Amino acid sequence: MRVVLSKSAASWLRKEMQYLQQRSPAAARTFTARIAETRLLLGAHPEAGPVARSLPVPRARTFVSGEYLIDYTIHADHVIIVTIRHGRMRPPDLPIEADPEE
């Protein structure tokens, strides 16, 4: 199954990678590899994360990947990662995007 990032998740991912790259290139590489592995895992096993009742999106799930929480939704032929956040961050107020691929 295809795994895509919402605009907000892609933006946050870029900012986090830049932040980590400035402070620790090794941490940035680890983070990038972990996100790539998580995308592969969610594509193969989309129900891996439990349903997240704390999120304002119906049937959203959260997968824990190291120190990060990956919030996502499952659709007929793809998974949308709606947010990526550090575990210390509180759940977001998620805007529902019309089309994450635009």
Alpha-carbon Rg of the chain, whole angstroms? 13
| Contact assessment for residue 70 and residue 81, using Cβ atoms and an 8 Å cutoff | yes
pTM here is: 0.81
Domains of the chain: 2-86 (3.30.2310.20)
- Tens digit of pLDDT for each residue in 24-71? 999 999 999 999 999 999 999 999 999 987 777 778 999 999 889 999
- In the block, residue with structure tokens 């049937």: 59
Handedness of CA 22, 25, 26, 27 (dihedral sign): positive
| Contact assessment for residue 69 and residue 62, using Cβ atoms and an 8 Å cutoff | yes
Please list, in sequence order, all residues whose beta carbon lies within 8 angstroms of the beta carbon of residue 89, skipping any fewer than 6 positions away: 69
Residue 23 and residue 15: Cα distance in Å, rounded?
A: 13
